[in-house]
Amino acid sequence: MSWWKRLWRSRVAPSSHGSIGAVRLALDGWSEKAPTGGMRIWRDARGDVLSLAAFDASFGLPDISDESALRLWCRLLAEKRHAGLVEVRVVEGALGMATSLIYKQLQKPAYIFTGMLVVPRQEGHQVWTVVARERGTTGMREAVVTTELIGAGKLTIEEYERSWAQDPYDPAYSGVDRSVLRFVSDDECFDERFPEHPLSKVRRVLAALPDAVQVESGVPVLYGNRM
């Protein structure tokens, strides 16, 4: 079983409800493969995966206007996968209001980053998921940022041990191993310096999706009139 399929094993089963077949993805570098498990699948040249699935109400997403509930839901979703939450955002664009979240897992020696764009609809949720992993030499982003911050006097050894890795919204959270909690180096401000890092890639894909989704003319879909 491939690594990305193992990551999907603990997810809520996709619903057959919803016309995801009407969706067309115009995103450079991604090629569609055979569908699997009720999902549509795309891959890029590095073997990373982008998928689209429809989920019914059992997905359990809270009202996205409730920031605390939304963050808790995303944190627990990550926790069930032995992952740490990196960020949660509410975004508005061509797909309407949606929830964007990123979490990370560790399959030594590499980190795997998963980004999800959840588009809620009365008919059901449509969920885009992008999964990218470290390849080759791992840990370079963390090592470079740590060294520079310490060298510049912006990070002490004590601060590193205390707060380098922590949940972005609850510093006291300890529901998963510290190794998968959000690092200081996971901040978006470092993405430009590490454009090939999987976290940078996941953020780019999530940001690009609303403008990259097209709908086949004449076929009803869940996205509503904004498409």
pTM surpassing 0.85? yes
Q: How far apart are CA 84 and CA 211, in angstroms?
A: 28
**Which tens digit of pLDDT belongs to each residue from 74-119?**
999 999 999 999 999 999 887 788 999 999 999 999 999 999 999 8
Whole-number pLDDT of residue 224 = 30
For each of the chain's 227 residues, which pLDDT tens digit applies?
A: 454 454 444 444 555 445 587 788 999 999 999 998 889 999 999 999 999 998 876 678 899 899 999 999 999 999 999 999 999 999 988 778 899 999 999 999 999 999 999 988 766 788 999 999 999 999 999 999 999 999 999 999 999 999 999 999 999 999 999 999 999 999 999 999 999 999 999 999 999 998 898 766 544 433 332 22
Angle at 189 between CA 185 and CA 190, to 5 degrees: 50
Q: How confident is the model at residue 7, as a pLDDT?
A: 45
Give residue 214's pLDDT.
Answer: 75
Pick the CATH number of 3-137+190-214 from 1.10.10, 3.30.70, 1.10.287, 3.40.1000: 3.40.1000
Give the whole-angstrom CA distance, residue 16 versus residue 26.
23
